[in-house]
Amino acid sequence: MVMDTVFVIAEAGVNHNGELALALQLCDRAREAGADAVKFQTFRAEDLVVPGAPTAAYQQRQTGEQDQFAMLRKLELSPEQHERIKAHCDGIGIEFFSTPFSVGAVDLLVALGVRRMKLPSGELTHRALVQRACATGLPVLLSTGMATLDEVREALAWAREVRGSLSGMTVLHCTSAYPAPDDALNLRAIVTMREALQLPVGYSDHSTGVEAALAAVSLGATVVEKHLTLDRQLPGPDHAASLEPAEFGAMVRGIRRIQSMLGDGLKVPRHQEMDAARVARRSIVAAVDIPAGAALDDAMLACRRPATGIAPREWDGVIGSTARHAIAAGTVLQWDLLQARGGPR
């Protein structure tokens, strides 16, 4: 069975730098690149972090900011800005949704009419938030960076408590490093989680380039999320680990092509192979002139192209049959030329 089309998310995240105009441009570029959705982050600094909390090393490198509260304060989007972005996405034909970092953010997004929720890796152990998002009944993407499989199972158990089942849940493999080096990606975990959890598994990609996202699709990822920026040189914590629009478009085209290549998994000939099969496979042919009534033996026969007659696998069934009439050397044998041993075929 062919799987559903891979759902591609352009992670705008905080790459808008707190500017509405930049946020709207990210939506436009995501749409042009072929993404299915553009995703932002919904938070208030005071709900998320205590003043004076340190930034991560990569954030310090990209922003020079050592105070996480101060950095996040500059990157907030107001409820009114959320409304403007959602309306813009509706107008250009791309799905808008966002990552909530608080119970209040979940409620804001539900009121905006989002069609799905994304829970970030850092909130996997935050039971109240996991359950509030899952209680909405919307499809939920659960990112699993920094997590053990047991921690993922724990969060899914919380989800099941409020949903009644895990229907609509997708887990995302992720490596929470920015950018994530190749030897930290562990893409085979996509297969491990799918087999262990019996759920759809996607990939939230923080690596450089497009190769990891394409490899994830080949391993069965049903969702791919990748950061999008207008310019990697812009100031801000996530720009350096993001794709620019042309690169993002190339990734989307690669994902679509790979999914087409994957097919349905059934090992049967494709219709495009039929002509090659006729040309490249063989038939049983008369190696010599065969008189009428002669019993066929090995010396009379050979296997030659094309595959328009009796297949070589039928050799033993042909041996010992008799020629109904004279057969010229080089004739591709058909069953109606022969009489089987013991009577008509």
Q: Report all structural domains of the chain as residue ranges with CATH numbers, in order of start.
A: 7-262 (3.20.20.70), 271-339 (3.90.1210.10)
Q: Name residue 140's amino acid.
A: V
Q: For residue 53, which phi and psi values (nearest 5 degrees)?
A: -60, 140
Q: For residue 19, which phi and psi values (nearest 5 degrees)?
A: -110, 125
Identify the segments of the chain with pLDDT beneath 50. Answer: 1-2
Is 224 strand, coil or helix? strand
Distance CA 33, CA 223 (A): 16
Q: Name residue 192's amino acid.
A: T
Mean pLDDT of all residues belonging to the chain: 94
Say how many C-beta atoms besides its own lie within 10 A of residue 47's C-beta. 12
- The torsion region of residue 21 among left (phi > 0), alpha (psi -120 to 50) and beta comes to alpha
Asked if 11 and 228 count as a contact pair (C-beta separation under 8 A), the reply is yes
Is 255 strand, coil or helix? helix
Q: Which residues pair with 81 in a beta bridge?
A: none
Q: Is 80 exposed, middle or buried (CB count within 10 Å of its CB: 0-12, 13-18, 19+)?
A: exposed
Is 202 strand, coil or helix? strand
Helix, strand, coil percentages in the chain from 3-state DSSP, rounded to 5:
40, 20, 40
CA-based nearest residue to 116, from 5, 9, 228: 9
Q: Is 165 exposed, middle or buried (CB count within 10 Å of its CB: 0-12, 13-18, 19+)?
A: exposed
pLDDT at residue 342 in the model = 59
Tens digit of each residue's pLDDT (9 = 90 or more) over 76-100: 999 999 999 999 999 999 999 999 9
Q: How far is C-alpha 159 from the geometric centre of its chain's CA atoms?
A: 23
Asked if 282 and 329 count as a contact pair (C-beta separation under 8 A), the reply is no
pLDDT at residue 71 in the model = 83
In sequence order, what DSSP letters do the residues of 79-115 get, joined into one string?
Answer: HHHHHHHHHHHHHHT-EEEEEESSHHHHHHHHHHT-S
Residue with tokens 């309306």, as numbered in its chain: 87
Q: What is the 3-state secondary structure (H, E, C) of 318-337?
A: HCCCEECCCECCCCECCHHH
